[in-house]
Amino acid sequence: MRSGFWAICLALMTASVFAADRWQFSSRTAISAQPSSGLFHQLGGAGRKHIAIAGQSVAVVWEDNRNGDPQVYAAVKQTTDQAFSPSIQVSAGSESYEPTIASVADGVFAISWEQDAEIHVRLLLGSGLSDAVRLSTGTAAQATIAAAQAKVYVAWPEQSARQWTLKVARLGVSESRQLTLESTVAVEAQALATPLLFPTLAAKAEALCVAWEDRRAGHTRILSSFSGDQGLSFSPPQNLNEFYSNRNAYDMGNGVTRVALAAFGEDEVVATWMDKRRGGAGYGIFASLGADGGEFFGPNEKVHGEQGDRQPHYNPAAAGNMAGEFVVAWDDFRRGDSDIWLSSYNDDMEWSEDFAPPVAAGQGEQSHPSIALDEQGNLHLVWIERADLAAPTRLWYSFGQRVPD
């Protein structure tokens, strides 16, 4: 009996150590200069894809107001470099918002963003940019991006005459390294009177999965749709989140919002989102694993550990790699001010204990994480830091070295 007790304790300790030691974050790199009064960075793109790895290059994309109006900027570095390049302005127009980024090929990234209520996309090639391509025709925002097999996919909600449509564009890359628009389709042929919001994409070979916030049911649900023909047609939407109701006659389901997708393995997808099923504790972080490129999703799983059960959590992001690894990041203020937290599956195929990388936790407010996993399992993390909630911001990056099992 006594030895059994110690065996359980040892197993729990091992699991804990495993979670905390999966990545070793030894240092961090500032992407932006010292905080400056009135300067604020934003990492609020749909699906939270603000960092990508393309071969030996790491690129980060964000929005800031350095010139008064919000514009989109990017910075890039080789994985072996200590510092990022000076920032490159990606957008034009009077106001630009909420960029997202995906890797296309070695050293080649694609960036989508909103510019004056239009959706634009262009390539980032080292320190250069391809021509921008305008994708939307109606009022549009909240663009999200993914890429696979040299195809770039951008999804966005579009509003025209008070009707909503979720659109997905597919683009190819020409020999002259320009983006060429190959198709733009609506996920559903029928436009809706209710909003479609904050989409996210996961692409793998021929498969493309799109998920979004949908209000057609009278409350918000996370829906997903699958394309097996590289974005030319989509399956009817399916519910991604399980919803809980019957608390009273008016209850149609708990709140859910801000879904993020990431492809991993051969054809799997991880979805994560904020979910209010816990009642008065605010949003929890929940997830579901999808098979066949996101055509089917499994049951919902709570990501954060028991320590976070009574706290609200925000800004979930997901990342995966071909090796079959995946990880979810978010922020919460369980320790007083906001820190970045991570969780991934442990060897028992369960979500690990929550892990706050020391480089993105502690004094001050660390929030709005975005993550990418490289093929060696190293975790690349970018986030916003500020001294307090009203202070100016700074962008940080850290490399989490994968510790061998």
Partner 1 sequence: MSKLLSSYRQHLLSLLCLLFFPVFSVVAAPPETYKFLSLTEAMQQASAQNKPMFLYFGRYGCSTCRKMHKEVFTNDEMQEKYNRDFVLAYVDTESGKRIKLPSGERMTEMQFASRNRILGTPTFIYFSKEQKPLFKKAGFQSIEQMNAYGDFIRGGHYQTKTLKQYLAAK
- Residues at the interface with partner 1 (CB under 8 A): 38-40, 42, 44, 65, 70, 95, 97, 114, 117, 139, 141-142, 157, 159, 162, 195, 197-198, 213, 215, 217-220, 245, 247-253, 255, 257-258, 279-282, 312, 314, 389-390
Q: Which is nearer to partner 1, 42 or 57 (CB)?
A: 42
Q: Which is nearer to partner 1, 84 or 198 (CB)?
A: 198
Cβ at position 154, least distance to partner 1 in Å: 17
Q: Which is nearer to partner 1, 38 or 128 (CB)?
A: 38
Cβ at position 97, least distance to partner 1 in Å: 8
Cβ at position 125, least distance to partner 1 in Å: 29
Q: Which is nearer to partner 1, 28 or 41 (CB)?
A: 41
The Cα 156–Cα 113 span in angstroms is 10
The Cα 100–Cα 119 span in angstroms is 11
Residue 24 makes CB contacts below 8 A (sequence gap 6+) with 400, 401, 403
3-state secondary structure string across 273-316: EEECCCCCCCCEEEEEEEEHHHCEECCCEECCCHHHCCCCEEEE
The Cα 160–Cα 165 span in angstroms is 8
Q: Which is nearer to partner 1, 117 or 291 (CB)?
A: 117
Within 43-178, residue ranges assigned H as helices are: none
The Cα 14–Cα 5 span in angstroms is 14
The Cα 114–Cα 120 span in angstroms is 6
Q: Would you call 50 helix, strand, or coil by DSSP?
A: coil
Q: Which residues are bridge partners to 281 per DSSP? A: none
Cβ at position 257, least distance to partner 1 in Å: 5
Q: Which is nearer to partner 1, 217 or 322 (CB)?
A: 217
Q: Where are the beta strands (DSSP E) in 126-267?
A: 128-129, 133-134, 139-140, 144-148, 151-160, 163-173, 179-186, 196-204, 207-214, 221-227, 238-239, 256-264
Q: Which is nearer to partner 1, 321 or 366 (CB)?
A: 366
Cβ at position 42, least distance to partner 1 in Å: 7
Q: Which is nearer to partner 1, 284 or 357 (CB)?
A: 284
The Cα 232–Cα 293 span in angstroms is 15
Per DSSP, 325 falls in state: -
Residue 6 makes CB contacts below 8 A (sequence gap 6+) with none
Cβ at position 253, least distance to partner 1 in Å: 7
Q: Which is nearer to partner 1, 13 or 247 (CB)?
A: 247
Q: Which is nearer to partner 1, 22 or 258 (CB)?
A: 258
Q: 395 is written with which tokens? A: 């962008």
Residue 157 makes CB contacts below 8 A (sequence gap 6+) with 140, 141, 142, 164, 165, 166, 167, 195, 196, 197, 199, 212
Cβ at position 62, least distance to partner 1 in Å: 13
Cβ at position 366, least distance to partner 1 in Å: 14
Longest Cα pair distance anywhere in the chain, in angstroms?
71
Cβ–Cβ < 8 Å for 59, 52: yes
Q: 239 is written with which tokens? A: 């519910």
Cβ–Cβ < 8 Å for 283, 277: no
Cβ at position 246, least distance to partner 1 in Å: 9
Cβ at position 195, least distance to partner 1 in Å: 5
